[in-house]
Structure 1
Amino acid sequence: MDDPDQLFVKYPVAHVKAIQSRLRADADAKQEELRQMVGERYRDLLQASTSIISLSASARHVVDALEDMKAAIPSREQISSPLESDAQLQSLQSLSTHIKLLLDAPEHIWRLLERKQYLKAAWLFLLARVVHRALSNDDADNKESWESHGIDVEEQFPLVQRQWDTVSQFRSQITHKATLSLREHAMSSTDICATLLTLHFLDSRPLVDTLSVFLSQRRRTVSSLLSDHTMRKEGNGHVYRRSSHAQTRRSKIRKSVVHEVKGKVQAVLDVISGTVSTARDIFREDADTGPCLIRRVLGFIQSDHSSSSVDALPKELQFTTISLLTDLPSSTHLLYLPQNIKAYKPYVDLSSSSSRVQPSHLHTRLHDWFDNALQDCLPSVERWLEDLNSVEEVWKVRRAVLQGLRSSKGLHDAERKRLSTALDDLYTKRVLSMWTMTLSLVARNFKETFSSVMANIGCAGNDTSSLNTFSHTLSLHLPQADGIATPNIDAFLKYKAAIRHQLSGRTTLLDQVLESLEIPALELSRSLQAVQSEKDDSEELVGSMLHEYRLEANVTCSQVLEALESSLNNLSDEQDFPLHKIIFIAQVADALESASEFSKHIGCSAQVAEDFRSGMRRLHHGSVDKWRKRNIELSVQDYWRCLTSTRHGSTSTAHRLHSRPSSALMQCLSSLVSSVHQFGMAYRPESMRGQADETLRSFMTSILTSAESEISKFDSGEALGDLVFLQKLVELRGDDWLDTSNSITSTIAMLRRKVSLILATSSRLLTHSHFHTPKFPESSPPVSLEDSSLDYLRRTQLLLDPLLPPITQEGNEKQTSLLRFGLPSAESNAYPVIDLVKPSARFGLLLIENSTLR
């Protein structure tokens, strides 16, 4: 703005002062910035000028130095060769080369030791010793040579002795490191041969001693492998079931354990086989292969390196001083060494005994070392095998180790056979121990489970309905799939197994006892199949193992049978006879004899398996006989007691009871049917039909036997109907039950006479007392009983089905599969099977109400 007055007109004074202050601050900042910039650039200019002056002085100094050198150096034509004219210079060059080799030797030796090139390190050490002797006063020729040129090495170069003192300390280090390297079983035969030559040259050891050192170091390698590992143990070989997730996790752990055991065994065997093979490759001499490898190397060192000797050796062992000097970093300068030093080679006397290992000595040493190493490793291998918890794991390790032995080279067939035989003994011992332990656990767990179940059967508060294979129903829940996820296969398999158990009639208690035998037996069967699946030349081994196993399995089967027999024999035969326990023993024996595959999977001998099934069959029959005797005795007592308590005196009552069997008889027959179901006879009607028939026959025989003594205590009319009904059951059997039929017929005739006498007496009494009584024809009661009993049999044929024989369809009579004995008549009156109980007095009000409603 040009006019300041306009500024004050437009803005207030305070605002103008603020603008003035801001502009003044900006001007001061710009002024300070310019001042700093000028100061820095001025310093840069001063430094640059100083540097330019220094560079100019340096360049001038270089130019002057070049001029001085040009003036000092004569022309090329005036210079003569130092090799031709200056002997002094040649001696100094040779001296410097000697000293340089000594100075560089420690560094080169360290580098060679790091590369594990021990023979080169030893050769360089020996070469340095030769150079030191050439420089010292020990060599008279060299002394005259150095002194002839006015050089006193000891006085003028004291560094030579001090450097040799440093180099001389490497001898023990080279020997020590070379000896320790022999423990590395991964080294090739060529490297081991070079290492043994190192010991031979540095320590002047005979080849026999180098062989001993090699074998002793490898013995320590074996010992370190045997004591280097500790394993975790997860069990004792016991077979038991686990959940799917736990089983998956455990399978991963077991795979790592098997892999670790297999790796350790193979590592030890590789060391043993590799040691023997390497020793033979290096020291063995025969007519076919000629001198051994180490003698050929010694011969190459002492020879003139002809083509034949060169071709016979590996390239790594074709070693000379020239090749050593060429590989060193300062190889160009070291070529000024005298020819006698460049042609140096260690002294070897091939005709000496120290340069030879006799074949007999080699064979003896290797045989002894092999025996000792094998004896050392067997206890550790046995300890490692204890970490394997199944026969399949042991056999996987055996298969892998056997393949490694077959592919190993350098071992004789006898040695390979001895190794496999020794290991097979350990495998056999471990497998048999697991089999023996599992079999002992099978017998012990069965006894404990069976004893526990038997102790709970029949106790107060325990429900014995679970013994009934016919009425018992398992709790089955169909597994559900979660959305689109993969269904749980284990749940469906479990559901399928539960259905199979239900169809086979196996109750919860029975299945609990049988699973204690069947599950470990199935695992044992799988282990036997794993052992027998090998297709190699181990038939004799497998045969001996199976023989030992069968002996133990035979004992286990005998123990199971003895446990059941002793349990049956220990049951008391008193009034409180444990019928439910007898039934359970019979169920277990029947299942083990027929349905269970325990005797098949356990792997016992065929004769023992047959004896086991025969023993179970005998035990089942004995249990049934014992149960039958006691059960029929109780049933007959209940029958006569019921008849005595329901005795009636009127003829009308007798006539009503004649038309059907008594409730006492039907209760006894129903009890027999329930017992048949408890024994599982309904699931095997063909094989168990005889047991049911024998039970019914014994029941009839007991009733007929006791009828004569009980005839005066019961109502003859009611008993007559029962016997006629039983006679109908006997007639269904045909001629097989002829003796029982004759006994029933005679008893029926006796009861009919008694009934006729009672009816006649009752009729006379009623006549004298002027009561009217109906007249019954003489032939009417028998005919009525026959027809009513047959009709009642048709009505109850489903209820009494286990006690009825199977029949075939005859003629064109139309019968259904359920009503095998025909349809009951529709006109007949239906009576209840058992007597109905009258209403109790405590429900009197209900009766009053009912009567009021009427």
Structure 2
Amino acid sequence: MAVSPTYSARSFLSSKSGAHTAADSALKTPAISSGSSATLTKSLPIAKLPPEELNLSPDELFSKYTVSEVRAVEHRLRADANAKQEELRLMVGERYRDLLQASSAIISIAKSSQRVLDALEESKEAIISQHDLPLPPKTASIDGLDDRHLVSLQVLSAHMKLLLDAPEHLWRLIERKQYFQAAWLFLLSRVVHRALVHQDENDEQSWVSEGVDVLTEFPLVQRQWDVVSQFRSQIIHKSTLSLRDASVSSEEICATLVTLHLLDSRPLTETVETFFTQRSKTLHTILERNSNDSISKQNRSSSFANGNGHHVSSTKSTSAREVTQLMKRALGVIVQTVITAREIFKDESSNSSLIVRVLRSIQDQSETSSSRDTLPAELYLTTQSLLTHLTSSANFQLLPPNLRSYKPYIDLSSSSSLLEHAGLSQRVEEWFKGSCDQWRHSAAQWFSGLLFIKEVWSLRNLIRRYISSSGLLKGENAYILSDLDSLCHDRIIGIWQKLLLNTETKFRAALHDNISVSLQAEGVKDTPPLDFIFQPPPIPVLTQILKSFADTPFQKYQLSLKQQLVGRSTHLHAVLSTLEQCARTIQQDFLHLKANGDDKTMPFIERLTKSYQPTATLLTVRVTSALKSESVDANKNVASAPGFTFLCRIMDDLASSSSFISNIGCTKAAIQEFKRELSVVNQNVLEKWRENTVNRIIQDCTAQIRYTSRATDPIGISAPMLHGLLNLCDSIRQLGIIYHPVNQHTIVQKILRTFIATWASKFWDEKIEDAALHDIAFIRNLAERYGELWEDIVAGLSKKLKTAISDEAALSELEISVAEYFARTQTLFAILLPAPLNPVYDVPLLRFGTPTTQGQQSAIDLAKPSPRFGMLLTGNAER
């Protein structure tokens, strides 16, 4: 509500006030009023005084009338005064209490009426103020005279009202973050204070000239200014801190920078530096706070893959979302700062920068139409619009025009109001690159929380889309995207390096453990390949729980059958699956990168491939080194034949059937080198295995060598030779080379030649007994099957036979007997016999001849017929 003007007693008693003198004279005149004029007319019937002569002063009364007439007037006036005194005595004595009640009621009614009038006046002023401030009221007049002193006091009250209300309005504006309006109001309050304390008596506009000493009569003015002056530092501090908020608009940032320029007298170059400094603190807070966080790394799973080749982590999505939010927050600060700096400080092609236009609109507010057209509404401010929106603004209409049209002084030609475009571009570029370097350093730590390629790639695609649509310049986009690609490249390579390192560790552990198992007791060691192929896995049985996942058991069953077909036993699969799973995971990662990329990402994938290949090659070298190390350790063991066998099977599968080397991602040269190294190591292991196997068989057969003379018609080779050949066949089958026929021929020939040479040097160098002739003839017959490659062995054995048997008939009979025996045992020693030169699918079962059946009894006749024998489909009708 409006506050009535306040008057001081001293101001009303001032001798210099002409209006006050006129008022006193007007108040004294009604002492001789209408009531006394009637009495005077009755007491002077002769004089017949006219009514207009009744209000004369005593000097005029004595000059116009006689003494008697003046005495008559005096007596009449005294009689009237006595009558009035008597009436007053009666009223006070009898109706004093009623008089007090009536006076209180009259005063209350007067106050209520005044409040109603004030409320109506405020409503009128509020309605008028919606369009413009109302004009000052007309000067009050009393009896047609202008009370200029009263107007001065009203203007003084408006000054003080603005100064008194300023703290409340400043607090409200600061809370609403309207720092530009708060700075304007503060500057206006300072001008009002200076106007109040102006003490120049020679100045007609001074309050002293109006008879008012403001500092002496109103000490509240100085105390109130002391309160208001403290807001300057608060506005500067709060507005500076508000620059750290990256979510505000460019217009709000511009208003804040203008506030600093007005209140703190900062040149535009310093305001740019202040803006970048505050945003650097915001960026540093984001980077520092989140760099110290673990990003849930301690809570994440340390495992890399499950049985199906997919990564497993219970907090995968949460952590990826955290890193994404951190990246977007940090990049958002950088992008928004650079764009805002250009929008505020950069000169446009046909117009000045935004902040310069705001300063120009403040300095020259006469061009209101053009200023409003080129500036946002929140940046166009005048004193009139500011006072209109303040509460109790009706009193401000009493302010003089120079205050209502006040505007802060800005020298547009000064260097503090100018900003060079080249310097701005250089400063923006320096801040941008420095902030990007800080972001990259912290982002490298954030990326360490990502354990999966899909997370890294999804984050890369998301950030690329965000940066591409951010509004940065082309060079700035390229700078950030280059840093992003570098971060993603390093993290992907880091993930793969850790995966390969863990794979190597697991492979070494599995290799050592399974080789140890192969050297243990018979019940614990790995299943022999020939036995493993005839042990079908159990058929899955669907339970009530697994009906919703009916495909899973059959998929496992199918996988078991495939492993059985290729001879992948349990222990062998345990060793090779570590490498194959790693290669499969990396191959899937590459497929994911290519499937979710485009033409622009292909150079990045190619660069990634080139960086990864040396690491993959290093894994193949370390795998070969681990196999060499285990072969050396197995060679030191006395019972090392099972270990050599297991090593050979591993290397044979790695070189031929395993998907490890084809999926690991090496170069062709690295693949060839890996296979060559495997071949060298495998040959060394096979050499050791062949030597140990032959020596073991010879030692086992030495105790059984008891050659004695036989009957004239021997039926076959000796028992020691039969035992040795059977052990040799079994040892060859333990290698698992039945799954790889190409390697089988070379291995069989080498170990068979070694066996024959060792046996001949140990048992056939000295005198050859008759029982050994069948063995020599059988081995020669076996060697003849290999053709020209075995001519040296065939020639040596033939020489031994001719030396021992001089009779051609006996030698021919021996060869016929051995050929018959060879035909009977060709399936027993099938693994030692050469395969057909060309694969023929209609080869008969007995490729080396059919044995005769004369003199042979049927096995079915030797068995006692069972009661149900007649039900069997056996062709014995003739019997």
Aligned partner (choices 289, 294, 297) of residue 233 of structure 1: 297
The letter for the 2-side match of 1:498 is: S
The percent of aligned pairs where both chains have the same amino acid is 32
Query: Hey, what does 1:224 align to over in structure 2?
Result: 285
- The 10-residue stretch of structure 1 (84-93 or 548-557) with the greater mean CA deviation from structure 2: 84-93
RMSD between aligned residues: 3.9
Is the contact between residue 616 and residue 665 of structure 2 (CA under 8 Å) also seen in structure 1? yes
SS in 2 for 1:589: helix
Query: Hey, what does 1:789 align to over in structure 2?
Result: 821
SS in 2 for 1:227: helix
The letter for the 1-side match of 2:736 is: G
Mapped to 2, the partners of 1:68 and 1:307 lie a distance apart of: 46
Aligned partner (choices 134, 137, 148) of residue 198 of structure 2: 137
Query: Hey, what does 1:681 align to over in structure 2?
Result: 737
Mapped to 1, the partners of 2:857 and 2:220 lie a distance apart of: 136
Query: Hey, what does 1:254 align to over in structure 2?
Result: 316
Query: Hey, what does 1:654 align to over in structure 2?
Result: 711
Alignment CA distance shift 1:347-1:600 (3 Å): same
Alignment CA distance shift 1:787-1:166 (3 Å): closer
Q: Does 1:558 find its partner at 2:615?
A: no
Note the C-alpha offset of 1:67: 14
The letter for the 2-side match of 1:554 is: T
Query: Hey, what does 1:202 align to over in structure 2?
Result: 263
Unpaired runs of 5+ in structure 2?
A: 1-100, 118-136, 860-879
TM-score, length of structure 2 as denominator length? 0.74
Query: Hey, what does 2:720 align to over in structure 1?
Result: 664
Note the C-alpha offset of 1:340: 1.5
Aligned partner (choices 829, 834, 842) of residue 856 of structure 2: 829
Mapped to 2, the partners of 1:817 and 1:738 lie a distance apart of: 27
Query: Hey, what does 2:830 align to over in structure 1?
Result: 801
Note the C-alpha offset of 1:312: 1.7
Mapped to 1, the partners of 2:347 and 2:538 lie a distance apart of: 78
Alignment CA distance shift 1:139-1:296 (3 Å): farther
Note the C-alpha offset of 1:176: 0.7
Note the C-alpha offset of 1:201: 0.8
Q: Does 1:721 find its partner at 2:774?
A: yes
Is the contact between residue 476 and residue 498 of structure 1 (CA under 8 Å) also seen in structure 2? no
Is the contact between residue 704 and residue 743 of structure 1 (CA under 8 Å) also seen in structure 2? no
1:341-397 CA-partner distances (Å, limit 9, x unpaired): 111111011000010112232233323323432343333222222222234333333
Note the C-alpha offset of 1:468: 2.0
Note the C-alpha offset of 1:481: 3.9
SS in 2 for 1:648: coil
Is the contact between residue 724 and residue 789 of structure 1 (CA under 8 Å) also seen in structure 2? no
Is the contact between residue 268 and residue 418 of structure 2 (CA under 8 Å) also seen in structure 1? yes
The letter for the 2-side match of 1:800 is: F
Note the C-alpha offset of 1:81: 5.7
Is the contact between residue 820 and residue 851 of structure 2 (CA under 8 Å) also seen in structure 1? no
Alignment CA distance shift 1:241-1:204 (3 Å): closer
Note the C-alpha offset of 1:566: 3.8
Give matches, 1:350-499, under 5 Å.
350-409=412-471, 411-459=472-520, 461=521, 463=523, 465-466=525-526, 468-472=528-532, 473=535, 476=538, 478=540, 480-483=542-545, 486-487=548-549, 492-499=554-561
- The 10-residue stretch of structure 1 (697-706 or 126-135) with the greater mean CA deviation from structure 2: 697-706
Alignment CA distance shift 1:145-1:786 (3 Å): closer
Is the contact between residue 456 and residue 462 of structure 1 (CA under 8 Å) also seen in structure 2? no
Is the contact between residue 282 and residue 294 of structure 1 (CA under 8 Å) also seen in structure 2? yes
SS in 2 for 1:471: helix
Note the C-alpha offset of 1:451: 3.0
Alignment CA distance shift 1:318-1:674 (3 Å): same
- The 10-residue stretch of structure 1 (531-540 or 546-555) with the greater mean CA deviation from structure 2: 531-540
Query: Hey, what does 2:79 align to over in structure 1?
Result: none
Q: Does 1:182 find its partner at 2:235?
A: no
Query: Hey, what does 1:589 align to over in structure 2?
Result: 651
1:674-726 CA-partner distances (Å, limit 9, x unpaired): 222211112223442332244334434544555542544x4x2x434334444
1:396-437 CA-partner distances (Å, limit 9, x unpaired): 33332232222222x333333333333433433333334334
Alignment CA distance shift 1:488-1:516 (3 Å): same
**Paired residues, what number?**
727
Note the C-alpha offset of 1:137: 2.4
Is the contact between residue 94 and residue 338 of structure 1 (CA under 8 Å) also seen in structure 2? yes
Note the C-alpha offset of 1:299: 0.9
Mapped to 2, the partners of 1:661 and 1:140 lie a distance apart of: 148
Mapped to 1, the partners of 2:284 and 2:839 lie a distance apart of: 88
Aligned partner (choices 567, 570, 574) of residue 512 of structure 1: 574
Mapped to 2, the partners of 1:129 and 1:172 lie a distance apart of: 14
Note the C-alpha offset of 1:523: 2.8
Mapped to 2, the partners of 1:192 and 1:67 lie a distance apart of: 50
Mapped to 1, the partners of 2:731 and 2:543 lie a distance apart of: 41
Mapped to 2, the partners of 1:63 and 1:626 lie a distance apart of: 128
Mapped to 2, the partners of 1:172 and 1:266 lie a distance apart of: 34
TM-score, length of structure 1 as denominator length? 0.76
Give matches, 1:717-796, under 5 Å.
718-734=771-787, 737-753=790-806, 781-782=813-814, 785-786=817-818, 788-793=820-825
Note the C-alpha offset of 1:116: 0.9
Mapped to 1, the partners of 2:816 and 2:795 lie a distance apart of: 21
1:775-812 CA-partner distances (Å, limit 9, x unpaired): xx96994475156325413xx51x3332334459999x
Mapped to 2, the partners of 1:702 and 1:170 lie a distance apart of: 109
Note the C-alpha offset of 1:159: 3.0
SS in 1 for 2:519: coil
SS in 2 for 1:285: coil
Note the C-alpha offset of 1:746: 4.0
Q: Does 1:331 find its partner at 2:393?
A: yes
Note the C-alpha offset of 1:63: 13
The letter for the 2-side match of 1:785 is: S
Mapped to 2, the partners of 1:141 and 1:125 lie a distance apart of: 29
Is the contact between residue 517 and residue 526 of structure 2 (CA under 8 Å) also seen in structure 1? no
The letter for the 2-side match of 1:166 is: V
Query: Hey, what does 1:841 align to over in structure 2?
Result: none
- The 10-residue stretch of structure 1 (560-569 or 344-353) with the greater mean CA deviation from structure 2: 560-569
Give matches, 1:289-328, under 5 Å.
289-303=350-364, 304-328=366-390
Is the contact between residue 258 and residue 388 of structure 1 (CA under 8 Å) also seen in structure 2? yes
Give matches, 1:9-158, under 5 Å.
82=139, 85-137=146-198, 144=205, 146=207, 150-158=211-219
Mapped to 2, the partners of 1:615 and 1:68 lie a distance apart of: 111
Q: Does 1:547 find its partner at 2:610?
A: yes
1:37-91 CA-partner distances (Å, limit 9, x unpaired): xxxxxxxxxxxxxxxxxxxx99x96899599999xx9xxxxxx964675544443
Q: Does 1:690 find its partner at 2:746?
A: yes
Mapped to 2, the partners of 1:348 and 1:66 lie a distance apart of: 51
Is the contact between residue 267 and residue 417 of structure 2 (CA under 8 Å) also seen in structure 1? yes
Is the contact between residue 517 and residue 524 of structure 2 (CA under 8 Å) also seen in structure 1? no
- The 10-residue stretch of structure 1 (697-706 or 193-202) with the greater mean CA deviation from structure 2: 697-706
Is the contact between residue 232 and residue 263 of structure 2 (CA under 8 Å) also seen in structure 1? yes
SS in 2 for 1:595: coil
Alignment CA distance shift 1:591-1:402 (3 Å): same
Alignment CA distance shift 1:787-1:803 (3 Å): closer
Query: Hey, what does 1:46 align to over in structure 2?
Result: none
1:515-541 CA-partner distances (Å, limit 9, x unpaired): 332223333333444555533645555
Q: Does 1:535 find its partner at 2:567?
A: no
Mapped to 1, the partners of 2:112 and 2:611 lie a distance apart of: 105
Note the C-alpha offset of 1:563: 2.6
Aligned partner (choices 302, 323, 344) of residue 406 of structure 2: 344
The letter for the 2-side match of 1:558 is: V
